[in-house]
């Protein structure tokens, strides 16, 4: 397995469910990101981790809870979501958090909240 992988690729959940999105990067990178892409909207940065420490939290509601247990894995824990949270959630990684470090994206998880 190479690059950035995300599981599951599709997820349907009810508003009272708890689920987790998983991201794994096989590139030896130090930084990892969660993005959200809603329909007809730009990609929005949610969280940034550098060496397993959260360095950016873009005013994301607490029903989204990130976890970075090591530099290769990133999770997004979901609980009591709303239908408007339905979106494509993309994970990315980069060597470090310098702006010239190319971000490599996973294929995304398509989330539907009923």
Partner 1 sequence: DQQVKQNSPSLSVQEGRISILNCDYTNSMFDYFLWYKKYPAEGPTFLISISSIKDKNEDGRFTVFLNKSAKHLSLHIVPSQPGDSAVYFCAATTGANSKLTFGKGITLSVRP
Size of the site for partner 1 (CB under 8 A): 27
Closest CA to 56 of 81, 25, 35: 35
Spatial distance between the Cα atoms of 109 and 31, rounded to a whole number of angstroms: 19
58 versus 82: smaller Cβ distance to partner 1: 58
* Cα dihedral value 64, 105, 28, 58, nearest 10: -30
Find the part of the chain contacting partner 1 (CB under 8 A) among 13-21, 62-70, 71-79, 95-103.
Answer: 95-103
**Binding marks (x or -) toward partner 1, 2..41, rule CB under 8 A?**
--x--------------------------x--------xx
**Binding marks (x or -) toward partner 1, 57..86, rule CB under 8 A?**
------------------------------
| Cβ atoms within 10 Å of 90's Cβ, excluding its own | 23
**CA-CA-CA-CA torsion sign (73, 74, 80, 81):** negative
Chain residues in the site for partner 1 (CB under 8 A): 4, 31, 40-45, 48, 55-56, 90, 92, 94, 96-108
């Amino acid at each position: 397995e190479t690059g950035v992988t995300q599981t599951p690729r599709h997820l349907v959940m009810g508003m009272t469910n708890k689920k987790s999105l998983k991201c794994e990067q096989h590139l030896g990178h130090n930084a990892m990101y969660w993005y959200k892409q809603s329909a007809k909207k730009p990609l929005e940065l949610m969280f940034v981790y550098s060496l397993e420490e959260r360095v950016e939290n873009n005013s994301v509601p607490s029903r989204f809870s990130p976890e970075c247990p090591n530099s290769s894995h990133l999770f997004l824990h979901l609980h009591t979501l709303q239908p408007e949270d339905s979106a494509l959630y993309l994970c990315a990684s980069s060597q470090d958090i310098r702006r010239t470090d190319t971000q490599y994206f996973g294929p995304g998880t398509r989330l539907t909240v009923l």
